[in-house]
Amino acid sequence: MLENVVQMLEIWNMDATDATRRNKPVVTIRTATLRGEPRFVVYSKINGIKKREFFRTQVEARVHQRAMMDKLFARGTDAFSAPAGMTVADGWKEFCLVRMPKLKEGNHTRLLNWWWGHFVEKYGSLYLQDIKAVHIDAFLTRPEWNGTTANQGFVYLRLVWNWLLRYELTTTNPVLKIDTPKANPEHHLLTVAEVQRLLSLTKKSDRLRAWIVLGLFGGMRISEVWRCRPEHIEKDEIFVPIRKSTDPKPRPRFVPILPALRRHLPKKWAEINEDTIKRDRTELAHAMGWQEWPQNCLRHTGASMHRAMWKDSAKPAYFLGHSSPRMVEDKYARAVRQADAKKFWAL
């Protein structure tokens, strides 16, 4: 039955400007399965360019197919000539429909939505083929963004554009034609004086204070801080809820409550996530005299201070939630004096 429907929907006898039968336009409706759910695909081949558009219902697919047929009958294949085609907004919608559901929900998908939301807002009405390297460069070059932020934007723009290129929804990737923005060093270690100032600046905000000290004195990842609530604090440890994961055997995470963490951690705080903290974090960075918040500075500072204090990689590995001390040596071992570490843990 489905084969008959497909054959009926194929357009073989349409008048076209192409000289040979093999180049005549084709518009068909096919079926596909996405994460166990059926999808209807409007497949077209016009002017030698193949295109796929996905719909949840057959009615939507038929409406779109009919619109394409009307356009062909009215204006011929010239109506589909480059640069006309898929817009930036349509390309992003296609990615969200086909690729996004396969990605694990979390910070990665949130950043994808953030970057492409801004990019579509600026260039969504332009066709993919009209986006040049100058557009990418202009988008990533803002006075308030440093190299780390621009580099992150570069990565997420490139990711989607590579997918569009792979599925022949565009013919070029303009992101690859610009120089990769240079990120700031990942391991930005705070000095004891900087930590003291951060503690002073966050006295009146329990949410900011909790975010600061859980990273500094608890060694918690940013995703763990997002999930941590006051009710997870136990006598000597903080139980961090396990996030949704594809790992068949996810490991629980227990954060030891060291004296410094106990001294500075508020008894309660409002929910912490990127949306609730980003504005205050930016203001805090400016108050510190930084253009932007240093990447991973809290956890990396706590890890380095922990190792320098106790001269043992096994203890920091447990402190950080790593399964091997080697990770501490390879990633977190930094030149921190033990005298500075003693001052840090005595704050």
pLDDT at 216: 93
Asked whether residue 136 falls in the same domain as residue 277, the answer is no
> Could you give the angle at which helices 206-216 and 297-310 cross, rounded to 10 degrees?
40
* Residue 210: inside a domain: yes
Asked whether residue 268 falls in the same domain as residue 341, the answer is yes
Asked whether residue 124 falls in the same domain as residue 205, the answer is no
pLDDT at 19: 47
* Residue 132: inside a domain: yes
Asked whether residue 100 falls in the same domain as residue 77, the answer is no
Name the DSSP class of 127.
B
Domain end call among 32, 51, 81: 81
Asked whether residue 95 falls in the same domain as residue 70, the answer is no
Sort residue 50 into left (φ over 0), alpha (ψ -120 to 50) or beta. Answer: beta
pLDDT at 11: 41
Identify the CATH number of the domain in which residue 307 sits. 1.10.443.10
Identify the CATH number of the domain in which residue 142 sits. 1.10.150.130
* Residue 183: inside a domain: no
Asked whether residue 151 falls in the same domain as residue 198, the answer is no
pLDDT at 1: 40
* Residue 187: inside a domain: no
* Residue 164: inside a domain: yes
* Residue 63: inside a domain: yes
Sort residue 164 into left (φ over 0), alpha (ψ -120 to 50) or beta. Answer: alpha
Asked whether residue 57 falls in the same domain as residue 112, the answer is no
pLDDT at 243: 64
Asked whether residue 209 falls in the same domain as residue 328, the answer is yes
Pairing of strands 26-34, 49-55: unpaired
CA distance 23 to 267: 71
Asked whether residue 169 falls in the same domain as residue 297, the answer is no
Q: Which structural domain, as residue segments, surrounds residue 47? A: 2-81
pLDDT at 14: 43
Radius of gyration (C-alpha) of the chain in whole angstroms? 27
Nearest to 26 by CA among 4, 2, 9: 9
Intervals of the chain under pLDDT 70: 1-22, 35, 79, 81-84, 183-187, 242-251, 332-334
* Residue 109: inside a domain: yes
Domain end call among 27, 62, 81: 81
Identify the CATH number of the domain in which residue 25 sits. 3.30.160
Asked whether residue 321 falls in the same domain as residue 241, the answer is yes
Specify the number of domains making up the chain.
3
* Residue 184: inside a domain: no
Task: Look up the pTM and report it.
Answer: 0.58
Nearest to 231 by CA among 282, 271, 280, 204: 271
